[in-house]
A = this chain, B = another copy of it.
Amino acid sequence: MSLRSLLLICCLLTATANAQSAPRELNLMPLPAAYQMGEGQLAIDGTFTVGLTGYREPRLNGAVQRFLRTLSRETGMAFPQDCLKACVGLSVHTDHASKPVQELGEDESYSLEITAAGATLNAQTPLGTLHGLQTFLHLVQATPTGYAVPFISIQDKPRFPWRGLMVDVGRHFIPLDSLRRTLDGMEAVQLNVFHWHLSDNQGFRVESKKFPKLQSEGSDGNFYTQSEIREFIDYAHDRGIRVIPEFDVPGHCTAMFIGYPELASAPGPYQIERHWGVMDPAIDITQESSYKFLDTLFGEMAALFPDQYFHIGGDEVNGKQWDANPTIQKFKQSQKIKDNAGLQAYFNQRLLKIVTAHGKTMMGWDEILAPEIPKSVVIQSWRGQQSLADAARQGYRGLLSNGYYIDLMYPASQHYAADPLSGPAASLTAEEKQRVLGGEATMWTEYVAAENLDSRIWPRTAAIAERLWSPQEVTDRQVRDVGSMYRRLKVISTQLDSLGLTHNSQYIRDLERLSGSTDIEALKVLADVVEPVKEYTREQTAPYPATSLTPLNRLVDAVAPESDAARNFSAQVDSLLSSPTPTTIADLRASLTTWRDNDAKLQPLLQSSFLLKEDTALSTTLAQLGTTGLQALDYLEHNQPAPGDWKQSQLATLEDAKKPKSQLLLMVAPAVQRLVEGRTATK
């Protein structure tokens, strides 16, 4: 029996994913729907080539060229860029074309077989081919005998058809080269929707030829031209990614009112908003001229953005301008509209007609859901899983973003645990579940600009991508033991790095900038174990009111949202407390000693720079944690109970250590506390 037939049988026997039966860990993120590993590997050397058969299109040729360029970067080897015939290595067969404009729910499946005879990638459409090429790239690794891919048989397809990332370019403008890198990263982790939040109170970022004052007055000169947008959409299409535009109305649109104050519910004049939050200005929804304006604008934008879906935002209207406008109040009474939600529902009804007339399917945030709105709209749930489940029960299609708010600085494990079909959605009927299209990570940019965009998105978004791609039983199993997820996240992070994403390299550059030199060691010791404050506490704890013009050049802007060093330290502490070994003790002692001694090295630098001065307390507290931890380690090592009053005083210090300092959290404090208390973490 050939290895290949053996593999096929194995696949039949293990119809779904079978990571537990795999002989060794598969370094893939997202994990495939089903796979079976073989024994052995296929060498990747300078003779490696890729051949295309079946359906052909320029996008596939481009994908192979990018594949080879990435393979070159990952291996340092050169590969022939064009293969005319008799190619060995990876043979790619695509059955037929995908839709000219990528549609929701197209076939994205592929199968990949790697055996001694070579590698074969089969897909129904170019979308599957693109995914399969990425999977192949991620399988390449240096082995004792050379670069190679393991023998494996993969049958893969996504769990959800809508796997998105939203980037807000309204609050901070993000240049196109950063966004192109973002698409590169999305392709690598098989995300397929780029949701472009293009306008908000702080900026309108698209060139309109119909209403040029939108961008000339509302963007500080920071907007995308229509030809740039067309090129960007092509770039996304080449990577199997749809582009959904969002124009947020009737609130979150102050930037539109600067050039066109007549749209608003109060006379103006308006200025580009520099602050964050929910603002009063809102479109006057009683004026016919508002709808005429939106009809013309959305018509122009519907032609610019080919995707079927068109996002109208619709979130966070506080209604204050409506309440203060007598004409709107009169309208409300005459139409027997109960409240402002009713006003917005009226507006959305009108808007739906406009969007539909331009051939698009309307989508919006939770708030657009109202009893009268037709079932054709798609609801993006930011408020919670309950609202998503409710919508699905009422017959609406929807996607989950609550749980995927990557701007809140939560760890990957937390986002990873969120599932579009868990919690309230778990009890949906099969038919209702079908209405849950997937989810979207949301990158709101109050504290994100071009320089730190990558580090705010990656690598955490790769975990969300896996949640949306891989079978639920696979991801749920990983949630119960996040070790594998984090190991694979580290690998994909390196691969994203080699694609040119800057989440790792910019960290070093930021520390160099803060240090004014390449001598960053002491600063890095501190920076490695802190994380930015979570959720919306950055606003609440700001030392001075931050605006969109405030430089993002502090330590809190440089450090990663998630500290690997702190997570590792925490795991080592738990390992020590459950089964101490000399190695664990030595490792912990080394870390604690480094922290204890670091403050003396770092203080001169902190005092030399206005940007670092605020981190003085952070550094001294880390030193204190080092001292405390070392004492606790001594007691533990000598099996000596720590004296009660020592423990008492340390715990008080630890409470302080856990409080934010310069908007940063010392993530090692809880583990040091466990050392003091001598108890492992409760799961």
Please report A residues at the B interface, Cβ cutoff 8 Å. 46, 73-78, 141-147, 451, 490-491, 493-494, 497-498, 504-505, 508-509, 512-519, 549, 551-553, 557, 607-613
Inter-chain CA distance A505–B142, complex, in Å, is 21
The minimal Cβ–Cβ distance linking A187 to chain B, given in whole angstroms, is: 19
By a CB distance below 8 angstroms, the chain B residues around A451 are 73, 76
The minimal Cβ–Cβ distance linking A305 to chain B, given in whole angstroms, is: 29
The minimal Cβ–Cβ distance linking A161 to chain B, given in whole angstroms, is: 32
Identify the interface centre among A512, A515, A557: most chain B CB within 10 Å of its CB. A512
The minimal Cβ–Cβ distance linking A494 to chain B, given in whole angstroms, is: 5
Q: Which residue of B lies closest to A515 (CB)?
A: B494
Inter-chain CA distance A76–B509, complex, in Å, is 11
A509:B491 contact, CB within 8 angstroms: no
Q: Indicate whether A142 sits within 8 Å of B516 (C-beta atoms), given known contacts A77-B553, A551-B78, A553-B75.
A: yes
Inter-chain CA distance A451–B73, complex, in Å, is 9
Q: List 7 A-B contacts (CB under 8 A).
A: A142-B612, A144-B607, A494-B516, A497-B509, A497-B512, A498-B509, A505-B508
Q: Indicate whether A494 sits within 8 Å of B512 (C-beta atoms), given known contacts A145-B610, A551-B75, A551-B76.
A: yes
Inter-chain CA distance A622–B516, complex, in Å, is 31
By a CB distance below 8 angstroms, the chain B residues around A77 are 551, 553
By a CB distance below 8 angstroms, the chain B residues around A613 are 144
Copies of this chain, how many?
2
Inter-chain CA distance A516–B611, complex, in Å, is 35
**Cβ-neighbour of A76 out of B146, B513, B516, B612 (below 8 A):** B513
B508:A74 contact, CB within 8 angstroms: no
By a CB distance below 8 angstroms, the chain B residues around A508 are 504-505, 508
Q: Indicate whether A504 sits within 8 Å of B518 (C-beta atoms), given known contacts A76-B552, A142-B609, A509-B498.
A: yes
By a CB distance below 8 angstroms, the chain B residues around A494 are 512-513, 515-518
Give 13 new A-B contacts, CB below 8 A, not counting A73-B451, A76-B551, A146-B610: A75-B513, A75-B553, A76-B552, A77-B551, A142-B610, A142-B612, A145-B610, A490-B517, A494-B515, A494-B516, A494-B518, A497-B518, A498-B513
Inter-chain CA distance A76–B147, complex, in Å, is 40
The minimal Cβ–Cβ distance linking A603 to chain B, given in whole angstroms, is: 13
Q: Indicate whether A608 sits within 8 Å of B143 (C-beta atoms), given known contacts A451-B76, A498-B509, A517-B494.
A: yes
Q: Indicate whether A141 sits within 8 Å of B516 (C-beta atoms), given known contacts A77-B553, A146-B610, A553-B76.
A: yes
By a CB distance below 8 angstroms, the chain B residues around A609 are 142-144
B517:A491 contact, CB within 8 angstroms: yes
The minimal Cβ–Cβ distance linking A79 to chain B, given in whole angstroms, is: 10
Inter-chain CA distance A480–B206, complex, in Å, is 59
Identify the interface centre among A46, A76, A497, A608: most chain B CB within 10 Å of its CB. A76
Inter-chain CA distance A551–B611, complex, in Å, is 43
Inter-chain CA distance A1–B74, complex, in Å, is 64
B513:A143 contact, CB within 8 angstroms: no
Q: Which residue of B lies closest to A593 (CB)?
A: B590
By a CB distance below 8 angstroms, the chain B residues around A551 are 46, 75-78
Q: Which residue of B lies closest to A459 (CB)?
A: B518
Inter-chain CA distance A73–B553, complex, in Å, is 10
Inter-chain CA distance A515–B490, complex, in Å, is 12
The minimal Cβ–Cβ distance linking A80 to chain B, given in whole angstroms, is: 10
Q: Which residue of B lies closest to A609 (CB)?
A: B142
Inter-chain CA distance A75–B551, complex, in Å, is 8
The minimal Cβ–Cβ distance linking A82 to chain B, given in whole angstroms, is: 9
Inter-chain CA distance A504–B517, complex, in Å, is 12
The minimal Cβ–Cβ distance linking A584 to chain B, given in whole angstroms, is: 14
Inter-chain CA distance A239–B205, complex, in Å, is 32
B505:A490 contact, CB within 8 angstroms: no
By a CB distance below 8 angstroms, the chain B residues around A552 are 76
A610:B143 contact, CB within 8 angstroms: yes
Q: Which residue of B lies closest to A552 (CB)?
A: B76
The minimal Cβ–Cβ distance linking A453 to chain B, given in whole angstroms, is: 14
The minimal Cβ–Cβ distance linking A623 to chain B, given in whole angstroms, is: 16
**Cβ-neighbour of A516 out of B146, B491, B512, B515 (below 8 A):** B491
By a CB distance below 8 angstroms, the chain B residues around A76 are 451, 513, 551-553, 557
By a CB distance below 8 angstroms, the chain B residues around A518 are 490, 493-494, 497, 504
Q: Which residue of B lies closest to A594 (CB)?
A: B590
By a CB distance below 8 angstroms, the chain B residues around A517 are 490-491, 494
By a CB distance below 8 angstroms, the chain B residues around A608 are 142-144
The minimal Cβ–Cβ distance linking A435 to chain B, given in whole angstroms, is: 39
By a CB distance below 8 angstroms, the chain B residues around A141 are 516
Identify the interface centre among A73, A490, A553: most chain B CB within 10 Å of its CB. A553
The minimal Cβ–Cβ distance linking A503 to chain B, given in whole angstroms, is: 10
The minimal Cβ–Cβ distance linking A158 to chain B, given in whole angstroms, is: 26
Inter-chain CA distance A517–B489, complex, in Å, is 10
By a CB distance below 8 angstroms, the chain B residues around A612 are 142
Q: Which residue of B lies closest to A493 (CB)?
A: B518
Pairs of residues from A and B, 8 with the lowest C-beta to C-beta distance, nearest first = A76-B553, A142-B609, A505-B505, A77-B551, A76-B551, A494-B512, A146-B610, A494-B518
Inter-chain CA distance A300–B259, complex, in Å, is 54
The minimal Cβ–Cβ distance linking A90 to chain B, given in whole angstroms, is: 19
Inter-chain CA distance A52–B612, complex, in Å, is 34
Q: Which residue of B lies closest to A487 (CB)?
A: B517
B505:A519 contact, CB within 8 angstroms: no
A509:B514 contact, CB within 8 angstroms: no
By a CB distance below 8 angstroms, the chain B residues around A46 are 549, 551
The minimal Cβ–Cβ distance linking A458 to chain B, given in whole angstroms, is: 12
By a CB distance below 8 angstroms, the chain B residues around A498 are 509, 512-513
**Cβ-neighbour of A509 out of B490, B505, B512 (below 8 A):** B505
The minimal Cβ–Cβ distance linking A508 to chain B, given in whole angstroms, is: 7
